[in-house]
Chains A and B, each alone.
Chain A
Amino acid sequence: MLYGKIKEYRALLTFSSWSDALAAERAFEKLDCPYSPIPAPRSLSFECNFAICFPLGKIDLVKSLAEKGVPFVGLYEATDNGFIPWKGSTE
C-alpha cells in the first residue's frame, strides 16, 4: 500500500543509516529538488527506518547524489502493485 507523499512522488531511496539519509536531505536541498522523508517500508528496508521519496521525473538526480558522495542502498519506483527496483540502480 502506498502512503504519504510517495503516492504522488513515486520514487523512493533507502539508506543504511540515519546519517546517510540526513546527508541525502542536504543534497536534495542543494539540488532544489522536492522530497519528503517517510518511514521506510518494512518490505524493503531492514537498515534505516527513514527513507526519502521524490518525484519519479527527477530520478536522474540519483546520479548526482552518488557523485556528491551520498550513499544509498536502494532506489525504487513505487507502483500500485508495490516497489520495483529501478532499472540500473546502483548500490
Chain B
Amino acid sequence: MIYLDNAATTWPKPSEVINVMQEAFISGGNPGRGAHNVSLQAARRIFRVRETLADFFGFTEPKRVVFTSNATQALNQALFGLLRPGDHVITSSLEHNAVFRPLWALAQQGLEITEVRVDPESNEFPLQDFEGSFKSNTKLVVTLHASNVTGTLFPVADIGRIARKNYVPYLVDAAQTAGVFPINMEEMNIDLLAFPGHKGLLGPQGTGGLIVREGVHLNPIMYGGTGSLSESDLQPEFFPDVLESGTLNSLGIAGLGAALEYLKKIGIEKIRKREQELCQYLIDGLMQIEGIKIYGGLDAKTKAPIVSFNLKDVDSTIVGYVLEQEAGIIARSGLHCAPHAHATLGTLKQGVVRLSPSHYTTDEEIDTAIKIIRQVATGL
C-alpha cells in the first residue's frame, strides 16, 4: 500500500503514540472523577497535554484548551456557542462542511451569512472583500487556515487583524495545518482555534480541541457531569469544565500528548519542508502527463501538503479506484465534504483526486504514483 491520504487522517502514527496509549490503557482512571490516585494520575496526564497544546499554539492559558472528539465538534461548539438568530457571520467559499453545515443550520434560525469568494487559482487573496463585509450585527469571522481540497493557504494573521479592528472574534479551522504550519494565536490574531488531533498532529482519531481566548463567551452545546460543582444543577462557568461534560477520551488524549512530543522532537519545520518537497516532486512529475489539471497552483511551498488533480474529464472516483486496484495507491477522490469549494473550482460533477503525502512518504512511493497515474492517463 502507498498511503497518500494523510489529509484525511495521517498514517502511520509515531510508535510513541501507540506505546503511550497502551500505558494509559493499562493505568486506567477517569480524569477528574474522584480524588483517588488512579483518577489523579489520569487527570495529570490530561493536564500535561493541555499545557503542551497551549504552548504549541502560542497560547498562555492551558485551562482554556477544551478537548473535543474532533475538529468538527470543536467548530460546532464555537459556532452554536456564539451565534444567535439575527447575528451576521463572515466566511469563505472554500469552507468544509464542518463549518458550512452548522452555519446553514443556524441560518434556518435567522443567522445571516456573507460568503467571500476565494479563488484557489488566483494569486490574489480577497482581503478587501472580507474588510468590506462587516456589518453592525457581525458577530464572527470564520475561515479555514488551508483548504482541504486544494491546500490553498489563507492569510489568517491578516484576516485576524481585520476582524480585531472591527471588534469581532475570529475562528480558525486548522484541520489541514495544525502540526504542519506554525500557529501562534496571539501573533496571528486568532480568538478561537479548532483543530483535529489525528491529522497533522499525528495523534489518534477521536481527539481534537477548541482553544478559546479569554473574553470570548461561548454557551455550551453539551451539559452534564464535570467532576466539579457536583451539588449544583447549573453547568460550571469556568474553563475547561463549562465546555467539557462527560468522560474525556483519556487514552486518545494521552496518545495526542505523545504525538506532540514527537513533533517537538522532529520539528514541524522539518516535517513541512519534507512534505512540501514531496508535493513539489509530485506536481513536477504530474505536469508531464498530458491531459492533467492540477488545482490550487503549482508551487508546493505556498500550500498545505495537498496535490489535487483531474485527468481530462474522467470521473475522479474512477481514477482513484484504478490507482488503488493497479498499485495500491490510496488517494481520496470525489467530493471532499466541501461543496462550495468544488463549486468555486467548477468540479462539483467531476470531483478531484487528492494526494496528500506525509513526512513518512518516500521518493520511491511518489515515483510509483506518478508512473501509475501516467499509465492510467495513457489508457484513457
A-B contact pairs, 7 of them (CB 8 A): A16-B238, A17-B63, A18-B31, A19-B50, A23-B63, A37-B40, A50-B43
Chain B residues lying within 8 Å of A17, measured Cβ to Cβ, are 63, 228, 236, 238, 241
Closest residue of chain B to A15 (Cβ to Cβ) is B228
Give me the interface of B with A, judged by CB distance under 8 Å. Answer: 31-32, 34-36, 40, 43-44, 47, 50-51, 62-63, 227-232, 236, 238-241
Chain A residues lying within 8 Å of B229, measured Cβ to Cβ, are 16, 46-47
Q: Interface on chain A toward B: helix, strand, loop, or mixed SS?
A: mixed
A17-B238, A17-B241 known; A49-B35 Cβ under 8 A: yes
Chain B residues lying within 8 Å of A47, measured Cβ to Cβ, are 228-229
Contact partner, A18, options B36, B51, B227, B231, Cβ 8 Å: B227
Give me the interface of A with B, judged by CB distance under 8 Å. Answer: 16-20, 22-23, 25-26, 37-40, 46-51
Contact B62 A18 (CB under 8 A): no
With A16-B238, A19-B62 already in contact, 16 other A-B pairs whose C-beta atoms are closer than 8 Å: A16-B228, A16-B236, A17-B236, A17-B238, A18-B32, A18-B227, A19-B47, A19-B63, A19-B241, A20-B63, A37-B40, A38-B35, A48-B228, A49-B230, A50-B35, A50-B43
Chain B residues lying within 8 Å of A37, measured Cβ to Cβ, are 35, 40
Task: Kindly state the separation between the CA atoms of A50 and B239 in the bound complex, as whole angstroms.
Answer: 17
Contact partner, B231, options A26, A40, A46, A48, Cβ 8 Å: A46
Chain B residues lying within 8 Å of A46, measured Cβ to Cβ, are 229-232
Task: Kindly state the separation between the CA atoms of A26 and B231 in the bound complex, as whole angstroms.
Answer: 28
A4 → chain B, closest Cβ, in Å? 10
Closest residue of chain A to B51 (Cβ to Cβ) is A26
B6 → chain A, closest Cβ, in Å? 32
Task: Kindly state the separation between the CA atoms of A16 and B238 in the bound complex, as whole angstroms.
Answer: 8
Closest residue of chain A to B48 (Cβ to Cβ) is A22
Contact A39 B35 (CB under 8 A): yes
Task: Kindly state the separation between the CA atoms of A42 and B62 in the bound complex, as whole angstroms.
Answer: 28
Contact A22 B44 (CB under 8 A): yes
Closest residue of chain A to B60 (Cβ to Cβ) is A69
Task: Kindly state the separation between the CA atoms of A22 and B240 in the bound complex, as whole angstroms.
Answer: 13
Closest residue of chain B to A21 (Cβ to Cβ) is B43
Top 9 A-B pairs, shortest CB-CB distance: A39-B35, A22-B47, A18-B32, A19-B63, A50-B35, A49-B35, A46-B231, A17-B228, A48-B228
A29 → chain B, closest Cβ, in Å? 11
Contact B62 A49 (CB under 8 A): no
Task: Kindly state the separation between the CA atoms of A23 and B50 in the bound complex, as whole angstroms.
Answer: 11
Task: Kindly state the separation between the CA atoms of A64 and B356 in the bound complex, as whole angstroms.
Answer: 49
Chain B residues lying within 8 Å of A16, measured Cβ to Cβ, are 228-229, 236, 238
Closest residue of chain A to B50 (Cβ to Cβ) is A19
Task: Kindly state the separation between the CA atoms of A7 and B36 in the bound complex, as whole angstroms.
Answer: 18
B186 → chain A, closest Cβ, in Å? 16
Chain B residues lying within 8 Å of A38, measured Cβ to Cβ, are 35
Contact B62 A23 (CB under 8 A): yes
Task: Kindly state the separation between the CA atoms of A22 and B236 in the bound complex, as whole angstroms.
Answer: 17
